[in-house]
Each structure stands twice: as C-alpha cells, then as structure tokens.
Amino acid sequence: MKTEKLLTVFLAVIMVCAAAYGQKPLTFDFEKNTDGWDIPDWAMDQKDCVGRVVTATQDVSNTGKGALKIETDYPGNQWASVIVEYEKDLDLRGYKAISADVYIPKECKTELMQARIVVTAGSDYFWIEAKTPVRLVPGKWATVTAPLNVSENGELNYWRCKDLSTCILAHLDQVKKVAIRIEYNASPKNAGAPYKGPVYVDNIKIE
C-alpha cells in the first residue's frame, strides 16, 4: 500500500512538472534578430497595410538592447496599419496573456495611433482580434495586452468574434499565428499628419 501511495505521489509530481514545462513563457526580445517575426506575405498586397521592411535594431529598445523595427508609410487621411506576425503552431492552453511593448517616435505627429493583438487559430484559421486597442503616444512606450485566461461568458468582452465557436477559447490548442497590429485610425473626415518612418515592437511575451 505504501508503495502504491509513493507511486501516486511520484506520478502527480511528474504531471505537475510537465504542465509547468508546457506553460513555459515564450519571450521575444529581438536582441540578435527578428526572432521569426515578419510582415506576412498577404499584407504586402493590401493597400491599407503600410509596413515595408522588418529588421532587428538597437536604435531604440524598452528592455535589453534590441527591438523590432518596422519601416512604415502611413498616409494619414485613411485607416491604415502595420502588422507583424509570428507563424508557428502553438498550444496556448494554460497561458494567461499575450503582451507586447510598442513605440512610435516623436516625429509621428498624431494622436490617432493605436495597437492591438491578433491571433489566428483553429483548423479553419479564424482571425481573432483583441477587442479594445491601446492608444499610442508619440515618444512613449505602451504595453499592449490581450488575455487568454478569459471565461467563456466574458470571452466576447475581450475578443472580437462572430460567436463563441470561432473565438479564442475553443482554439487555444490550435494557434497558428500571433500578430501585433499598429493602426493609424484615420479617415478623410478625421485625418492626421502623414508619417513615413519606423515604429518599434519589443518584449513580446506569451505567459
């Protein structure tokens, strides 16, 4: 009997350790390279996607020495965005949130910039956006966060989905891509100054 109890405890410890290992935080700090993040091919063909080139840089950073630098060309008089994504099959069950630090330089003279996290998940590649963007202030870093440990009842409060069957919880074990989208939320009636220059992303975490 004592042996059986010891075996049960041993197996329980193994399961806990395995679960902890499976939930090891994923961090992208861009100290040496782009860590697999890039502008997706489909965005190059979209007129409202204005990201041009992605590189790792040490010009600006929020943690460490490196950051992801995206060259952009926002017209200022219409909605436009830059999107960078990490494409890899991920099982994010047990993770709590995705976060990223985003920076737009002082030279970007507008109050219309914002950022949000986007996830592509499921066998049908559902496009799932964080519902509320974070406003960006030129010259300051902002942390953009999207929760993963939401309840089913509150899921649609945090994620923009048609219904629960196409939303995040049902497909956390089948995440295909994680993306950061930096938006210039302008229109002809609500225009801002055009901006051609870099924006930066750093310290992306899934934990």
What is the per-residue pLDDT across 83-107, written as a single tens digit (0 to 9) for each? 999 999 999 999 999 999 999 999 9
Q: pTM for the complete prediction?
A: 0.87
Nearest to 58 by CA among 82, 83, 29: 29
Instruction: State the CB neighbour count (10 A cutoff) for residue 178.
Output: 25
pLDDT in the model for residue 14: 38
β-strand partners of 159: 130
Q: Per residue in 126-181, pLDDT tens?
A: 999 999 999 999 999 999 999 999 998 889 999 999 999 999 999 999 999 999 99
Quickly count: other Cβ atoms within 10 Å of residue 77's Cβ.
16
Q: How far apart are the first and last CA of the chain?
A: 40
125-134 pLDDT, tens digit per residue, is 999 999 999 9
Radius of gyration of the chain from its Cα atoms, rounded to whole angstroms: 20
All structural domains of the chain, each given as residue ranges with its CATH number in brackets, are 26-206 (2.60.120.260)
Question: How far apart (Å, rounded) are the C-alpha atoms in residues 163 and 70?
Answer: 33
- Percent of the chain whose pLDDT exceeds 90: 86
